[in-house]
Amino acid sequence: MYQFNYLRPKSLDEAKKLYENNGDAKFLAGGQTLIPTLKQRLAQPTALIDIGGIAGLAGIKVAGGAIVIGAGTRHNDVAISADVKKSIPALAHLASHIGDPAVRHMGTLGGSIANNDPAADYPSAVLALGADIKTTSRTIKADDFFTGMFETALDEGEIVTEVSFPIPEKAAYMKFPNPASRYAMVGVFVAKTKGGVRVAVTGAASCVYRESAMEAALAKAFTPDAVANIKVSPGNLNSDLHGSAEYRAHLVTVMAKRAVAAAT
């Protein structure tokens, strides 16, 4: 690791000021991605601004037909929340399958979506449920938030404060995990709402995306058979030592079919 200053603000305002006054600073949440990155010497921030001590950044509430989850909420707290289990069981299921117990007790929702790893689980829920991402300066729609591999619409120094997930009529998440890391080789989140059906895929491509052919088919008939024969093009999918693009394309259809079956 390199040398850096460790700062622990008590409010979002203080965190923003520290960020502005500390050159190449980085916000630290659960540290499950950032600390390994520092250990591998892939980043050299001058300061780590630990936002874990900011009151009100963690918590779960039900408000206006949505589950609102603070950015600092740990994965395990989402997994065991009675409110999440009741209103969006698919989201609790997703959180309960992230990494291992250590990762789930440290990692946060805000850290996961700000990092936007192409194989992370939460981005698929955010996109499929059409969530709103609230930050220190604005509210960003899910469709505008994830902009590319490890890229988001967040500006320099902008902090995610909470995510509002509209409660769907039906939803389910199915992932085929990498057996070592538990990251998604492919994960598919399917949600049926009053506004229509949304299908978000993670792990398969460089960034989470929506499968529009599946959404159109499921809008006509929300059944596993509606997606069973949809062939996904491997053209833009990832190919690596874990699996070829063709393998991942096949998995998208299999996971989508299982997700619809689970949701119904």
For the CB of residue 101, give the shortest distance to ligand FAD in the complex, in Å: 11
181 is a contact residue toward ligand FAD (CB under 6 A): yes
The two tokens of residue 14 are 């203080």
What is the DSSP-derived secondary structure letter of residue 129? T
Phi, psi of 26 (to 5 degrees): -135, 145
b/e map 248-261, b = 16+ CB within 10 Å: bbbbbbebbbbbbb
Q: Write the binding mask 55 to 74 for ligand FAD: x where contact by CB under 6 A, - elsewhere.
A: ----------------x---
Characterize 16-37 residue by residue with b for buried, 16 or more Cβ atoms within 10 angstroms of its Cβ, and e for exposed. bebbeebeebbbbbbbbbbeee
Q: Greatest CA span in the chain, whole angstroms?
A: 57
**Range in contact with ligand FAD (rule: CB under 6 A) among 14-22, 102-110, 191-199, 206-214:** 102-110
- Figure out which of the listed residues 76, 81, 87, 112 binds ligand FAD, where binding follows CB under 6 A: 112
Residue ranges in 138-167 that form contacts with ligand FAD under rule CB under 6 A: 154, 159-160
- Find out whether 173 and 188 touch, Cβ atoms under 8 Å: yes
Q: Is residue 84 close enough to count as binding ligand FAD by CB under 6 A?
A: no
CB atoms within 10 A of CB 221: 11
By beta-carbon proximity to ligand FAD, the closer residue of 70 and 217 is 70
Cα(104)–Cα(121) distance, integer angstroms: 12
Give the DSSP letter of residue 97: T
Q: How far is the CB of 228 from ligand FAD (least distance, A)?
A: 26
Tell me which residues in 13-32 interact with ligand FAD (CB under 6 A): 26-32
Q: Are 77 and 70 in contact (CB under 8 A)?
A: no
Q: How far is the CB of 32 from ligand FAD (least distance, A)?
A: 3
Which one of 5-13, 98-106, 216-224, 231-239 is the stretch in contact with ligand FAD (CB under 6 A)? Answer: 98-106
**Contact call for residue 98 and ligand FAD (CB under 6 A):** yes
Residues lying near ligand FAD in the complex (CB under 6 A): 26-34, 36, 71, 98-99, 103, 107-108, 110-112, 114-115, 117, 120-122, 154, 159-160, 181-183
